């Protein structure tokens, strides 16, 4: 026997409008216009021969008949939802980019800023390879970008300046005051903090500042810049800072410069990419990277 039923779209429109107390909000939920919701509800009212809502300037309110019907409709819709298989959530199809970066840059600069990019671009996935050996974009097709501390063009890849570098001895205010490091003659009493990637930093500084009479080979050595940076923040010695990598610590005053003038570096942080790279995700990442570095 055929059932005499109202249009299902009208039932859904009624339930959503009743739940929200608004045709406009029901329209947003069901992704239709307010006019469509109004027409569906009016059609259901005509089908039932009774008013379900009283219309007001600031929304709608259920009539007694509407409230009675809502309880049954809600139960029926819940039962239908339980009977039908759950809708599969459509996962966002992500584009993956691979970036090779110096461990120091990856840990101290990129890792602290990358969450902003990922939040703005949920469809792009960034894979970071922290490595300090030379890489070739031409020989590694899976590699989209490389960030290196170098000068000039690199192995045929397109290169552009990402961040200028310099040498800047830093320590905590506590360590400076403890050893009286405002007097250069006291620098000989300080512990120098060395990092493997830039093992010659203290020698370069000593050669250009002979008045300090530093024993540049002495001090504590660390296998990563992040470890040396933490030692400096723990007031264990003086770190040869690379300003781009310690920007946050300098801004907060956790670390302070011990020399008035940084020593310009001969090498800088370069962004290497494939020539003619036209992948939209790669263009988006490069634009964000340059804007963030220069901002």
Percent of all residues in the chain with a pLDDT value above 70, rounded to a whole number: 93
What pLDDT does residue 249 have?
95
Architecture of the domain defined by 166-264: 3-Layer(aba) Sandwich (3.40)
Top mean pLDDT of 47-51, 126-130, 140-144, 276-280 is at 126-130
Cα separation, 37 vs 11, in Å, equals 10
What average pLDDT does range 39-67 have in this prediction? 85
When the candidates are 3.10.620.30, 2.60.40.10, 2.40.50.100, 1.10.10.10, the CATH number that belongs to 8-83 is 1.10.10.10
pTM given for the model: 0.64
Percent of all residues in the chain with a pLDDT value above 90, rounded to a whole number: 46
What pLDDT does residue 26 have?
84
What average pLDDT does range 275-279 have in this prediction? 72
Q: What is the mean pLDDT of the chain?
A: 87
Q: Could you tell me which residues are beta bridge partners of residue 150?
A: 268
CATH 1.10.10.10 boundaries in the chain: 8-83
pLDDT band at 244 (very low <50, low <70, confident <90, very high): very high
Region 95-164+268-294: CATH code: 3.40.190.10
pLDDT in tens, 230-242: 999 999 999 999 9
What pLDDT does residue 75 have?
86
CATH 3.40.190.10 boundaries in the chain: 95-164+268-294, 166-264
Residues 6+ apart with CB under 8 A from 130: 101, 102, 103, 106, 107
Q: Is the pLDDT of residue 194 over 60?
A: yes
Placement of tokens 């045709």 in the chain: 23
Residues 6+ apart with CB under 8 A from 157: 136, 137, 138, 146, 272, 273, 274, 275
Question: Bigger pLDDT: 215 or 153?
Answer: 215
């Amino acid at each position: 026997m055929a059932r005499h039923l109202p249009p299902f779209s009208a039932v859904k429109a009624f339930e959503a409008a009743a739940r929200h107390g608004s045709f406009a909000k029901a329209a947003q939920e069901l992704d239709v216009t307010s006019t469509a919701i109004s027409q569906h509800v009016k059609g259901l009212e005509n089908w039932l021969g009774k008013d379900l809502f009283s219309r007001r300037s600031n929304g709608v309110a259920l009539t007694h008949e509407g409230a009675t019907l809502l309880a049954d409709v809600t139960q029926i819709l819940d039962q239908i939802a339980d009977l039908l298989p759950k809708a599969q959530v459509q996962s966002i199809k992500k584009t993956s980019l691979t970036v090779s970066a110096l461990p120091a840059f990856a840990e101290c600069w990129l890792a602290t800023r990358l969450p902003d990019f990922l939040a703005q671009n949920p469809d792009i996935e960034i894979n970071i390879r922290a490595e300090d050996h030379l890489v070739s974009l031409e020989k590694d097709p899976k590699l989209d970008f490389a960030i290196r501390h170098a000068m000039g063009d690199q192995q045929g890849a397109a290169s552009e300046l990402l961040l200028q570098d310099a040498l800047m001895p830093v320590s905590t205010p506590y360590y400076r005051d403890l050893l009286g490091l405002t007097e250069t003659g006291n620098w000989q009493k300080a512990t120098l903090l060395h990092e493997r990637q830039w093992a010659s930093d203290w020698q370069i500084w000593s050669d250009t500042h002979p008045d300090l009479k530093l024993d540049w080979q002495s001090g504590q050595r660390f296998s990563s810049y992040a470890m040396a940076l933490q030692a400096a923040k723990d007031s264990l010695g003086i770190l040869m800072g690379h300003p781009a990598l310690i920007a946050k610590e300098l801004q907060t005053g956790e670390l302070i410069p011990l020399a008035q003038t940084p020593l310009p570096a001969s090498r800088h942080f370069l962004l290497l990419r494939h020539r003619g790279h036209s992948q939209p995700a790669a263009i988006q990442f490069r634009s964000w990277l340059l804007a963030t570095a220069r901002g």
